[in-house]
Amino acid sequence: MGYEDNVRKVVPYTPGEQPGGRVIKLNTNECPYPPSPRVQEAIRSLDTDALRKYPDPLCSELVSEIAGYYGLKDENVFTGVGSDDVLSMCFLTFFNGRDPVLFPNITYSFYDVWASVYGIPFRRVPLREDFSLDPSLYRQKNGGIVIANPNAPTGIAADLKVIEDIVSSNPGVMVIVDEAYIDFGGETALPLLDAHENLLIVRTLSKSRALAGMRIGYAFGQEKAIKYLNDVKFSVNSYTMNTPSLLAGKAAIEDDRYFREIRDKVISTREWVKKELRELKFSFGDSCTNFIFASHEGTHPGETEAGFAKRIFASLKERGIYVRYFDKPLIDGYLRISIGTDEEMREFMRVLKEIM
Amino acid sequence: MGYEDNVRKVVPYTPGEQPGGRVIKLNTNECPYPPSPRVQEAIRSLDTDALRKYPDPLCSELVSEIAGYYGLKDENVFTGVGSDDVLSMCFLTFFNGRDPVLFPNITYSFYDVWASVYGIPFRRVPLREDFSLDPSLYRQKNGGIVIANPNAPTGIAADLKVIEDIVSSNPGVMVIVDEAYIDFGGETALPLLDAHENLLIVRTLSKSRALAGMRIGYAFGQEKAIKYLNDVKFSVNSYTMNTPSLLAGKAAIEDDRYFREIRDKVISTREWVKKELRELKFSFGDSCTNFIFASHEGTHPGETEAGFAKRIFASLKERGIYVRYFDKPLIDGYLRISIGTDEEMREFMRVLKEIM
């Protein structure tokens, strides 16, 4: 017998590639614009001598900044190393029952990975054919629910009423609404927070605030839920967020004008790209995110949607343009195209037309 | 029924206080000297525009730097958000069996917290009365072993032979040697790595490289063990270390001369403080760390060691000097005093004498 008998064997999540060199990177939903100039100031003026000391384990200043921005109390805010860390802690904290946790059959592919690594039973609930959410399917017995809204990789948003239906018909379990992309469209579940102790909303600074490299995520919940989450966090790693993160996160939230400016640019580029893709006969739902999830009929004799998507993905990559392709049932006919700068998207469209 | 039925309820680890203002902070084993000037350069020259992109999930440059420094291959190195993150991942990865994980009854108090949060059975193995490790007690059936060497909070180191005995008599389980303080004394288990696939060594840049604020830890193991660890990491959070961490960690390892200089200063201050404390009739083992774990007989009528320690802890705190006191069985008669600068330790000794 070797030590391997006791090893937790898992199939990890596969992040999008991070190629070096001069490529057009439309594969990981990063922001095409740099973070606020205040982030640069915060990093440049960091007292590096103070790095000898542990960071504030409570992340108090960042928490207060976020709470203030959203009109919440500090006790309603939790922070972590990207929304992945926050979601991972949520799974560990709130999904400790025996009934399966529910999430859509097409959604962020990390949910089943977290369920697996922590030994949480789960069940995938079908989306409608148009990728929309059917709340009536969330009335079955369950140990918790996770909904990405807007959903990834589909880009589709659910109405607040749909979210409210799911939250209020499941008072006995925690409902986590992953709003990683909410700044680009859709309705936030924040107005539901006061009335629902079983609601947690997860956010990130990686996308709309252009800080993927800093790893900052956060969650909103009622005070008791945030306390449970903090208890688990302090049972895993007391000091998850380092000093530069705490400062950069605060600086990014402070600069609301800059945030609105780059968010609006991404949205207007997205709408322009939608039009272009429609002209090329791509099909996609109404993307509310910083990416578009699009399919296209085969253009060669006998070519399927999946064949087309796979071929275009490879051809784009050969030409230094990275989009995301998921070779998985239900979504293997789609390309997920992150929204870059106007210039990048013009080049993307040019190359796409050339390939097609 | 509320959502709380499914909550993982835990008793979290309590980190040492992080008081603000002008205090002498000897309570969290931080380095009293700033990190290498190269860390400052790395942070100052960071391309903040690039923070819009995710960091390298494989931490390749940092991993290579660490591997090169220790004469290992990249495949032998894992990195994480402080050694707490690395240890937490190790618990999750390697302690997935049914038999109890073993660790000393006096050791880093996070071990039982990780075991609890992940539902891992564990058993505390008594140290000898002088706080030394008895390897013969680690021949019982177990699901894994964790040994801090040098141990915390005792500061005592075990001979390499003792560690080797434990590793080689437990081929069926993973033995984790937590070497957070090894740079200050004791023998590393690194020479055992080639011959033992069931050995993992965990290190940190928080102490001897003065980077507690950056959260950088790492582990050495055989290629297969590191792969298992990475699979679990990629099932929890793909991008644990942010861009500034990756750069600062590399810069700190590169500056070996500076590292040796501050480490030697801490060691020589420690030896001087030992002499002073001995003169005041404190008792302590041979500390091989950047702290001293010391007890003293009561000095008032009927005062116990615990009474003395508690009283001195409180009096020091009143005077703005923070040391660590653990109000726990077996160690409630001790103060853990981190080694500060010579100036801080002179002030500490002056105030201590005054109180006594």
Q: Is the dihedral of CA A90, A96, A97, A99 positive or negative?
A: positive
Mean pLDDT of B338-349: 97
CB A129 within 8 A of CB A150: no
Judged by DSSP in three states, A38 sits in helix
pLDDT at B291: 98
Mean pLDDT of A162-188: 98
Q: Per the CB < 8 Å rule, is B28 touching A54?
A: yes
Q: What residues of chain A lie within 8 A of the CB of B11, using their CB? A: 231, 235
d(CA B104, CA A353): 66
Question: How confident is the model over A238-274, as pLDDT tens digits?
Answer: 999 999 999 999 999 999 999 999 999 999 999 999 9
Residue corresponding to tokens 């993160």: A245
Q: What residues of chain B lie within 8 A of the CB of A213, using their CB? A: 50-55, 242-243
Q: Is the dihedral of CA B216, B217, B220, B222 positive or negative?
A: negative
Mean pLDDT of A295-317: 96
Question: How confident is the model over B155-183, as pLDDT tens digits?
Answer: 999 999 999 999 999 999 999 999 999 99
C-alpha distance from B29 to closest chain A C-alpha (Å): 9
Q: What residues of chain A lie within 8 A of the CB of B5, using their CB? A: 97, 172
Please name which of A262, A265, A266, A284 lies closest in space to residue A275, comparing C-alpha atoms. Answer: A284
Mean pLDDT of B280-303: 96
CB B284 within 8 A of CB B292: yes
pLDDT at B2: 87
C-alpha distance from A20 to closest chain B C-alpha (Å): 10
> Encoding tokens for residue A309?
């998507």
Reply yes or no on whether the pLDDT at A16 is more than 90.
Answer: no
Q: How many CB atoms lie within 10 A of CB B26?
A: 26
* B15: nearest CA partner in chain A: A238
> Encoding tokens for residue B296?
């003293």
- Residue A323 is classified by DSSP as -
pLDDT at A124: 98
CA distances from A227 to A93, A219, A231, B12, B62 (A): 10, 12, 6, 11, 34
pLDDT band of B1, cuts 50, 70, 90: low
Q: Which of A1, A7, A202 to mutate to test the interface with B (most CBs of B within 10 A)?
A: A7
The rounded mean pLDDT for chain B is 96
pLDDT at A1: 62
pTM, two decimals, is 0.96
Q: How much is the ipTM here? A: 0.95
Give every CB contact of residue B309 below 8 A, 6+ residues apart in sequence: B295, B296, B325, B332, B333, B334, B335
Q: Which has the higher per-residue pLDDT, B79 or B21?
A: B79
Mean pLDDT of B48-58: 96
Q: Per the CB < 8 Å rule, is B215 touching A55?
A: yes
Domains of chain B: 3-33+257-355 (3.90.1150.10), 37-255 (3.40.640.10)
Q: What residues of chain A lie within 8 A of the CB of B198, using their CB? A: 2-3
Q: Per the CB < 8 Å rule, is A117 touching B92?
A: yes
d(CA B95, CA B119): 10
Question: How confident is the model over B58-75, as pLDDT tens digits?
Answer: 999 999 999 999 999 999
Question: How confident is the model over B87-123, as pLDDT tens digits?
Answer: 999 999 999 999 999 999 999 999 999 999 999 999 9
Please name which of A35, A34, A42 lies closest in space to residue A250, comparing C-alpha atoms. Answer: A42
Q: What residues of chain A lie within 8 A of the CB of B242, using their CB? A: 81, 213-215, 242, 244-245
Q: Per the CB < 8 Å rule, is B240 touching A143?
A: no
Say if B47 is an interface residue toward chain A (CB within 8 Å).
no
- In degrees, to the nearest 5, what angle opens at C-alpha B16 toward C-alphas B31 and B59? 60
pLDDT at B143: 97
Say if A46 is an interface residue toward chain B (CB within 8 Å).
yes
